């Protein structure tokens, strides 16, 4: 026990300061709880194996082809406290990006066939039957004004 206390004194001296001592004591207070949690989690994991799964992303054969790269410099960043980029997700391929889209070239067979068999929707018919909108009429009128030979270009403003 004396050796342990001597080594503790050495650590305390190395940390030199009341803040360092308090921090060291706090760590020693927490160590038993961390050890207990670690024991429980390790044994539970060994017996129940809830984390085990098919590692399909590593074991399934896949050939990558026609890789194209674009790497464009954006800016230089200074005095960052974090050793990794904020929001890093390239190290966990199961974590989806904020915008993820998957498209299949052909929809579900039956659903696609049903969609193709559908009559044109009412909304389309209504759009076809619509009168030209006001904005379009205004554009048409504008084109007519531009084509008017009587109008002259405004002189450049001064100053």
Partner 1 sequence: MTQPDQHGVPSEPEASAQAEPAAASADQHLIDTSTGRAHGHDDCPQCGSTEVSRKGNTLSLICGFCRYEWVGSRLEDTHGLGEGIGELEGRTFTSGAADISSGEDLVTLKCQGCGSEVVIDTARSLESRCHWCRSILSINDKIPNGAVPDGILPFHITKEEAIARIGEFAGARRFFALKKFRDEFKPDNVLGVYMPYMTVDGNVSARFHGKGEVQTRRYTVKTGENTHTTYYDANQFDVIRDFDLHIDDLIIESSAGRSNIDNRENTNNIINSLLPYDVKNMVAFDSNYMGEMTAEKRDLNIDDVTRKAHAQFLTMARESIRDDIRGYDRGVQWTHEDLEVHGSRWASVFVPVWLYSYAERLDNGRMMIHYIAVNGRYGNVMGSVPINKSRLWGVTALVTGLTALVAWPIGAAAMLAG
Region 47-86 residues binding partner 1, contact defined as CB under 8 A:
47-50, 52-54, 56-86
Residue 41 C-beta: closest distance to partner 1, Å: 9
The upper half-sphere exposure of residue 122, i.e. CA atoms within 13 Å in the direction of its Cβ, equals 0
User: What residues from 103 to 142 belong to the interface with partner 1 (CB under 8 A)?
Assistant: 103-106, 108-110, 113
Q: Which is nearer to partner 1, 5 or 123 (CB)?
A: 5
> What letter would DSSP give residue 34?
H
| b/e 37-63 (16+ beta carbons within 10 angstroms → b) | eeeeeeeeeeeeeeeeeeeeeeeeeee
Q: What would the x/- binding string for partner 1 be over residues 23 to 42, using CB under 8 A?
A: -xxxxxx-xxx-xx--xx--
Q: Which is nearer to partner 1, 110 or 143 (CB)?
A: 110
Q: Which is nearer to partner 1, 102 or 126 (CB)?
A: 102
Q: Of these, 19, 119, 156, 159, which contacts partner 1 (CB under 8 A)?
A: 19
What is the distance between the alpha carbons of residues 38 and 136, in angstroms, rounded to a whole number?
71
User: Which phi and psi (to 5°) does residue 146 adopt?
Assistant: -60, -35
């Amino acid at each position: 026990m004396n050796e342990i206390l001597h080594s503790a004194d050495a650590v305390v001296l190395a940390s030199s300061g009341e803040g360092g001592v308090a921090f060291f004591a706090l760590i020693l207070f927490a160590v038993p709880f961390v050890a207990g949690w670690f024991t429980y989690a390790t044994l539970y994991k060994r017996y129940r194996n809830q984390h085990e799964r098919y590692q399909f992303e590593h074991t399934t054969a896949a050939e990558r082809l026609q890789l194209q790269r674009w790497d464009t410099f954006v800016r230089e960043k200074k005095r960052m406290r974090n050793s990794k980029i904020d929001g890093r997700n390239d190290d966990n391929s199961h974590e989806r990006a904020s915008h993820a889209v998957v498209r299949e070239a052909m929809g579900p067979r039956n659903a696609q066939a049903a969609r193709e068999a559908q009559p044109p929707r009412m909304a389309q018919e209504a759009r076809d039957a619509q009168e030209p909108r006001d904005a379009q009429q205004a554009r048409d009128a504008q084109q007519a004004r531009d084509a008017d030979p009587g109008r002259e270009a405004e002189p450049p403003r001064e100053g």
